[in-house]
Structure 1
Amino acid sequence: MIAFGEALSHIRRQVTKDLRQEVLTKEKVTAIALKITEATLIRIGNEQYFRRYGSHGLTTLKKRQVSLSENQAIFRFRGKKGVRQEIEVRNVNLVAHLLELKGLPGAHLFQYIVGEGNVHRLRAADINAYIQQSTDQEFSSKDYRTWYAGLWAFRLFGKCPDYTTEKECEASILSVLDAVSHRLGNTRAVCKQYYVPDSLVSAYKDGTLFPYLRKSLGSSGLPGTRRAEEQLLNFLKHATA
């Protein structure tokens, strides 16, 4: 996670640049997909997995599986292991991008324009290539999703009430794991094993996470998410030193 956290700024700069494009190029649509992953933790998915198991990720979603209002998008689909997902995100900019995508011909949501209006579907391989080209490292969409799952856990720990007993502490940990696993569409056990670092949970238990949580809420002039990312990365570096 540390290497990816350090490289994230390169992806963000590329995403910001590509979102400004007027045409729905492959780069712009990939940038939209990554912003939605950041906001929802929906897995990228692929056509082979969908055909074999019938479960969706972002790249296999159909337009009919996304409902849009003025500032809200609701994704409804069958996720991994057949679990029905309903994920809501409130973000005016993302809704505007999704409206653009829905305006293209075809049933699939994530498509891009080539040349004089030819429409192609976005694939998982396109997203992985984008991440690798942005960072010049062998990262993938799984690294992207894992980072943001860890960030969600970090921020949720910051919102937990103060605890005075071990029972209260464990209750807060379970509530965080349940919230993140629900967003991921995974079980609590999978979430804890693969997405939320053990060091994060241990540091919450022994109190060593609290200074990082407090700093993430401080006034550094950065948006809340950026402060949290900065402090999560600082924590991970110190935890592995």
Structure 2
Amino acid sequence: LREITGEDFTAKDFRTWAGTVLAAVALGKLGGSETKQQAKSNIKHAVGAVAEILGNTPAVCRQCYIHPAVLEAYLNGNSINGFSPNTQEEFGKQGIDLASAQAAVLKFLQSSSSEKSG
């Protein structure tokens, strides 16, 4: 990967990016939640869906492959804007607009990072 990209990326970097984007899409599909308990349940569902796609357990997926800012934002009543995820069946087949989703997640993470440092 380093040779192809010319950067110091590993397979884990790509899996983490995919897991983060897919989690954001899944949470966007689930919509907002009215209670913290519902938000936690939605996060559990989204992590499970991403874990299935990545071939990991939900615990490993959450710990290693989903950026915590995405889950924290959802738990606090925020979501990542900029794309409209499709149905669960299409999500399972990865039939989503990945370009829009990736752009929205990147913008969110950059914004989240600048808020913490500034």
Alignment of 1:184-199 (within 5 A): 184-199=54-69
Q: Which has the higher strand share?
A: 1
Alignment of 1:9-28 (within 5 A): none
Q: C-alpha offsets along residues 145-196 of structure 1, whole Å, 9 cap, x if unaligned?
A: 2211111111111100432122211110000011111222222211111111
Gaps of 5+ in 1: 1-130, 218-222
Q: Distance in 1 between matches of 2:8 and 2:31?
A: 39
What code does the residue aligned with 2:100 have? Answer: R
Tell me by how many angstroms 1:200 deviates: 0.6
Q: Distance in 2 between matches of 1:166 and 1:204?
A: 10
Percent of residue pairs bearing the same amino acid type: 29
1:149 aligns with 2:19: yes
Q: C-alpha offsets along residues 120-149 of structure 1, whole Å, 9 cap, x if unaligned?
A: xxxxxxxxxxx3234311112221122111
Q: Which has the higher helix share?
A: 2
Q: Distance in 2 between matches of 1:191 and 1:177?
A: 7
Q: Distance in 1 between matches of 2:68 and 2:19?
A: 13
Provide the residue aligned with 1:237 in structure 2: 110
Let me know the Cα RMSD of the aligned residues: 1.7
Match of 1:163 among 33, 36, 42: 33
Identify which of structures 1 and 2 has the higher relative contact order when contacts are C-alpha pairs closer than 8 Å and 6+ apart: 2
Provide the residue aligned with 2:99 in structure 1: 226
> How many residues were matched structurally?
103
Computing the radius of gyration from Cα coordinates, the structure with the larger value is 1
What code does the residue aligned with 1:133 have? Answer: E
Q: TM-score, normalised by structure 2?
A: 0.77
Q: C-alpha offsets along residues 45-74 of structure 1, whole Å, 9 cap, x if unaligned?
A: xxxxxxxxxxxxxxxxxxxxxxxxxxxxxx
What code does the residue aligned with 2:25 have? Answer: R
Q: C-alpha offsets along residues 10-53 of structure 1, whole Å, 9 cap, x if unaligned?
A: xxxxxxxxxxxxxxxxxxxxxxxxxxxxxxxxxxxxxxxxxxxx
Q: Is the contact between residue 47 and residue 62 of structure 2 (CA under 8 Å) also seen in structure 1?
A: yes
